[in-house]
Amino acid sequence: MKLQKTTIAAAIILSAGLLLSQDRFDMKVRNYFFAGLAGDATSLQKGMKICEDILANDPKQPEALVWHGMGLVSESRAAFQKGDQQNGAAMWQRGLDEMDQAEALAPNDLGVRIVRGAVLLVASQYLPDPEAAHPLIEKGLSDYEKAYSIQGPDLSHLGTHPHGELMIGMADAYARLGQQEKAQEWFERIQKELPGTPYANSAATWLETKKLTPRQAGCLGCHTGAADQSK
């Protein structure tokens, strides 16, 4: 399985944009994970160690679980790329299990739901088996729907990036699940609410062709430098 590093990093950027009013656990780890997902293995291990230390004292800390699970999914990618299918599969499944456990512990916590949702929606794009991808899309969509229900129908208070990532993630998920009417509704809404943005461009592409590439379906305009992570 091959995953785009920058698209998984959308989990960090999107969650940051939606968590302005919450206790920011993500601030403890997101810089390390962001650098790690961009290829800095040492930084990724630092982020994982922070989560592991927290989980050693409290195995049911949901945000530490979801971030650690994301890290395992990232590490599974590296194992698969090296041809280590056995360890890659084990880390992949453990990562999914930890993220699911986090959601079960804190189903209303955006710090959990957005991270899991972004990772699952990205990962599902790169699975070769559509049947295996389907449950990941459903879970990821449920996470984004929860975020939308908490944020409310007016997303104008969010920055362009979290606003667009949430909407296009949902729109593309509906499309990939065969819910074409809902997908069209959301893509049309993106064009109306975010004109002149890469999100509107992707929406126009889907409305014309009824499909998007993985790169057109999320992490549009993501920052790649550490200095940009707080934007």
Instruction: Give phi and psi for 206, each to the nearest 5.
Output: -65, -40
Q: Is the pLDDT of residue 65 over 60?
A: yes
Q: pLDDT, tens digit, for every residue of 4-48?
A: 554 555 555 565 566 554 457 877 888 898 888 878 889 999 999
The answer to whether 44 and 11 are in contact (CB under 8 A) is: no
* HSE-up of residue 141 (Cα within 13 Å, Cβ side): 20
HEC profile of 23-71: CCCHHHHHHHHHHHHCCCHHHHHHHHHHHHHHHHHCCCCHHHHHHHHHH
Chain segment 182-205, per-residue pLDDT in tens: 999 999 999 999 999 999 999 999
Q: What is the largest CA-CA distance in the chain?
A: 52
Q: What is the pTM of this model?
A: 0.86
**Total number of domains in the chain:** 1
The residue segments making up the domain with residue 189 are 5-228
- Mean of the pLDDT values across residues 102-110? 94
pLDDT score of 228: 35
Residue 114 has pLDDT above 80, yes or no: yes
Measured between alpha carbons, how far is 91 from 3 in angstroms, rounded to an integer?
A: 14
pLDDT recorded at residue 163: 87
The dihedral sign for the CA sequence 120, 123, 125, 130? negative
CATH code, 147: 1.25.40
The candidate with the shortest Cα–Cα distance to 13, out of 191, 192, 166, 212, is 166
Residue 184 has, within 13 A of its CA and on its CB side, a CA count of 8
Give the pLDDT confidence of 121-140 residue by residue, as tens digits.
988 988 888 889 999 999 99
